[in-house]
């Protein structure tokens, strides 16, 4: 089941990339990203309310380290001060009991938001059929980290899939030269590369979090912290100079970004929450979203040099097939 969820996440992630490309066309990057974090927070607001107030809508796992149900209610004869103190204690227990968890989730928000900022700027200035393969390097980085941190090992089929994926990435870089995109000197390439590195770090960190926390708790608070951080960034950097830079314009692709990434992350977190899941495999399958983004680049954005990139895409597909074989080996 965890592998199926990984493929579902990959499909949604490809649609997410296409929505980003559409929303960023001739648009200001930071407000688009800010609205993305806002809509993601709204999508998960019921889970946030349950986590804070302990309504029990989604089970005890969203309430933090301690459940509030076992606390005795004050009787009707208690003073207003006692009632107010009890109300305050409920709030304190809902938040302070999970301080460590919130700090861990906040760290994830910082890592992912840093990756998103770099990735958004790169995607705005580069073809989707170039950005996707660069992002596909993440599983290779995650693989090394997973072996060092979690002691994971791949079998022969899975190693074959990884090698094919790496080969496709290098071949894709050659295709970029036909579009006057020098991978060594283009700053937007480096932005996307940095986004890939930070994404790989996030992937390793996710495995650590999913072994300790409920996926809905992580995703709900993670979105809220991203929204707060991104709001500060926009207020300090973009808002004062908004009339001197690329103007912001509304696009219906913006809410689609939030919908697709929320669903993709939910499938991803649920996959990692399975004790038998392998972060290196989940991350690699998740990067197969390049197939969806490639198709969108061809059909929607009419990108060039498609023939030179078809072989690279076939290598990625073949690599995913070997990963699938290796899972059941």
Q: How far apart are the first and last CA of the chain?
A: 16
Q: Which residues lie closer than 8 Å to 85 by C-beta, 6 or more apart?
A: none
Mean pLDDT score, 9-24:
92
Longest dimension (CA), the chain: 80
Given a contact cutoff of 8 angstroms between Cβ atoms, the answer to whether 58 and 216 are in contact is: yes
Mean pLDDT of the chain: 79
pTM, 2 dp: 0.77
Q: Give residue 59's pLDDT.
A: 63
| Alpha carbons 102 and 218: distance in angstroms, whole number | 8
Q: Look up residue 26 and give its two tokens.
A: 């001739």
The answer on pLDDT for 46 being more than 80 is yes
Q: Give residue 71's pLDDT.
A: 43
| Alpha carbons 128 and 136: distance in angstroms, whole number | 12
Given a contact cutoff of 8 angstroms between Cβ atoms, the answer to whether 285 and 320 are in contact is: yes
- pLDDT bin (cut points 50, 70, 90) of residue 67 is very low
Mean pLDDT score, 276-297:
78
Considering 30-39, 145-154, 312-321, the range whose residues carry the highest mean pLDDT is 30-39
Annotated domain spans of the chain: 2-58+80-328
The answer on pLDDT for 278 being more than 80 is no
Q: Give residue 212's pLDDT.
A: 77
* Percent of the chain residues topping a pLDDT of 70: 79
Q: Give residue 290's pLDDT.
A: 80
Q: Give residue 64's pLDDT.
A: 46
- pLDDT bin (cut points 50, 70, 90) of residue 327 is low
Q: Look up residue 288 and give its two tokens.
A: 């197969």
Q: Which residue has the tokens 């190693």?
A: 159
Q: Look up residue 42 and give its two tokens.
A: 């709204």
Closest CA to 218 of 227, 230, 228, 206: 206
Q: Look up residue 6 and give its two tokens.
A: 């990984």
Mean pLDDT score, 182-195:
86
Half-sphere exposure of 218 (CA within 13 A, CB side): 25
* 3-state SS assignment for residue 68: coil
Given a contact cutoff of 8 angstroms between Cβ atoms, the answer to whether 142 and 311 are in contact is: no
- pLDDT bin (cut points 50, 70, 90) of residue 168 is confident
- pLDDT bin (cut points 50, 70, 90) of residue 145 is low
């Amino acid at each position: 089941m965890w592998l199926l969820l990984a493929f579902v996440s990959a499909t949604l992630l490809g649609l997410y990339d296409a929505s980003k490309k559409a929303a960023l066309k001739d648009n200001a990057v930071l407000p688009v990203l800010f609205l993305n974090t806002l809509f993601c927070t709204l999508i998960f607001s019921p889970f946030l309310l349950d986590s804070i107030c302990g309504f029990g809508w989604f089970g005890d796992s969203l309430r933090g380290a301690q459940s509030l149900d076992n606390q005795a209610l004050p009787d009707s004869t208690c003073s207003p001060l006692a009632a107010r103190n009890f109300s305050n204690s409920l709030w304190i227990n809902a938040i302070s009991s999970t301080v460590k968890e919130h700090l861990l989730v906040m760290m994830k928000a910082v890592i992912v938001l840093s990756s998103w900022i770099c990735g958004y700027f790169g995607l705005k200035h580069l073809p989707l059929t170039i950005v996707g393969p660069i992002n596909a390097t993440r599983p290779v980085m995650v693989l090394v980290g997973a072996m060092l941190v979690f002691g994971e090992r791949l079998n022969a089929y899975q190693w074959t899939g990884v090698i094919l994926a790496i080969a496709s990435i290098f071949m894709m870089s050659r295709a970029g030269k036909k579009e006057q995109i020098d991978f060594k000197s283009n700053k937007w390439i480096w932005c996307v590369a940095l986004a890939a590195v930070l994404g790989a770090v996030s992937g390793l960190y996710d495995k650590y979090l999913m072994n300790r926390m409920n996926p809905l708790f992580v995703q709900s608070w993670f979105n809220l912290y991203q929204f707060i951080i991104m709001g500060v960034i926009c207020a300090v950097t973009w808002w004062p100079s908004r009339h001197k830079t690329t103007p912001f314009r509304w696009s219906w692709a913006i809410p689609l970004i939030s919908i697709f990434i929320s669903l993709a992350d939910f499938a991803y977190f649920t996959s990692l929450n399975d004790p038998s899941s392998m972060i290196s495999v989940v991350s690699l399958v998740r990067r197969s979203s390049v197939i969806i983004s490639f198709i969108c680049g061809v059909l929607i954005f009419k990108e060039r040099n498609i023939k030179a990139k078809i072989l690279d895409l076939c290598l990625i597909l073949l690599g995913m097939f070997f990963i699938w074989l290796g899972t059941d080996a």
